Amino acid sequence: MTLQSQTAKDCLALDGALTLVQCEAIATHRSRISVTPALRERCARAHARLEHAIAEQRHIYGITTGFGPLANRLIGADQGAELQQNLIYHLATGVGPKLSWAEARALMLARLNSILQGASGASPETIDRIVAVLNAGFAPEVPAQGTVGASGDLTPLAHMVLALQGRGRMIDPSGRVQEAGAVMDRLCGGPLTLAARDGLALVNGTSAMTAIAALTGVEAARAIDAALRHSAVLMEVLSGHAEAWHPAFAELRPHPGQLRATERLAQALDGAGRVCRTLTAARRLTAADLRPEDHPAQDAYSLRVVPQLVGAVWDTLDWHDRVVTCELNSVTDNPIFPEGCAVPALHGGNFMGVHVALASDALNAALVTLAGLVERQIARLTDEKLNKGLPAFLHGGQAGLQSGFMGAQVTATALLAEMRANATPVSVQSLSTNGANQDVVSMGTIAARRARAQLLPLSQIQAILALALAQAMDLLDDPEGQAGWSLTARDLRDRIRAVSPGLRADRPLAGHIEAVAQGLRHPSAAADPPA
């Protein structure tokens, strides 16, 4: 089952305070939406303020003027609709791969939620059409490249508007592409017609980068959870020293992420009979201690520092999510039409996406750091010199004739190398453009896309570790299959064995890696066993 094929089960009333989890649920069509009467009234007042300003022939960017460096050219009141339409036309220059179905839906939702803050001046018809498209499970077809994230995400949002106007294409919940005109006729009785400021209200905001970052945040949390569960099982498999995860370490260095990671690891080890729980200093030295290589007092860092390393990644994700949640519930237009202001419009720069750019770059680095831990855990588990007596590369038969996870371990290394190459910060890559009007830009959408792209190889590396852990458990089991495993370990093996049998003899693992990785990224979507 894919996420797209799931039926929407509940209806969320948007109230202007959207969470990232809610954003993902709506983007994946697991929730429908409505707009509260209070927000509709707030938006109606903003639209009325805009219409009043137009009637008074106020000097307002994008309504009585051209755009960008052409803002010094005045536009007649009778040319307003043409001005808005030409804005969409000249910005529809996106290229490259398309946003995914969920990403494009999150894009629409992010733009809608910004408008619902009540300072954009968009018409009620615009709001209604976005709600209708989202509730029907459709997404606009949007090219991913072409925005510098400065005056908002102008280019991808322009393609969204074209689809709402029936001039582009829509993606239905099953992934099929349909002509947008037919979809809008069926859902809304016709396409969106731009009036007043609707064009600018729809394209002038950070909605693409915010949408992508919102989905990334939710999925990154799953990766952290998997990393902690897998680390706990590795501790069992290698009969490691649980002393290193004692809560006193976190209490004396109380970073929130480390505290939570320590607590989660303790929960995961509940019932584990294979780990060493005796505190090293609780025993006195004996003759056996003359050969410390036989009785190491501490594990390698890939086990010992899991609470600290994953905790730091978790703290980075928390900061990322706070930034993105704030952005998701903000007005990111220019100009804005705030209530109670002495003038009808304020001109400024809330469209500048540096917050999301910096947060995305930080999360990108954190995800690569997490992947580095997982790759080293795979290396240790498959190395016969380091894995405490398990077969080389966890082969299930004759050494040499069978190579087990040798190829999979190399794949993990290759994936990590590629992730590192894609971790260069994007927020520092500002380039002047738009006739030097946009002389500093955020590159926020590129940063958000690059951080999101790291989730796929990370899940594949984690899938390799999960497969290897299940194999190690099989190799360590006694004849009754009871080796004192925790519920966490048994649950991991059950999930793996649902899509991948034990490796008794070498076979291609590519399809199994992909199936497990898909389940890690989207646990609510059942993964089918590979053919």
Joined tokens for residue 223 = 């990766």
Give the separation between CA 325 and CA 21, rounded to whole angstroms.
10
Joined tokens for residue 53 = 């300003």
Regarding beta strands 31-35 and 10-14, do their DSSP bridges make them parallel or antiparallel, or are they unpaired? parallel
Any catalytic annotation for residue 301? no
- Identify the three-state secondary structure at position 454: coil
State the residue for tokens 């064995």.
497
Ordered alpha helix ranges (H), 477-526: 487-497, 510-521
Catalytic residue, candidates 16, 42, 61, 249:
61
Written as one letter, the residue type at 456 is L
Give the separation between CA 273 and CA 490, rounded to whole angstroms.
12
Joined tokens for residue 333 = 């237009």
DSSP of 237-273, one letter per residue? Answer: HTT-BGGGG-HHHHHHS--HHHHHHHHHHHHHTTT-S
Q: 460, 514 in Cβ contact below 8 A?
A: yes
Q: 376, 158 in Cβ contact below 8 A?
A: no
Burial of 277 (0-12, 13-18, 19+ CB in 10 A): exposed
My answer on whether omega of the bond before 143 falls inside 30° of 0, hence cis, is no
In 3D space, the residue among 331, 326, 327, 348 whose CA is nearest the CA of residue 119 turns out to be 331
Any idea which residues carry the catalytic annotation? 61
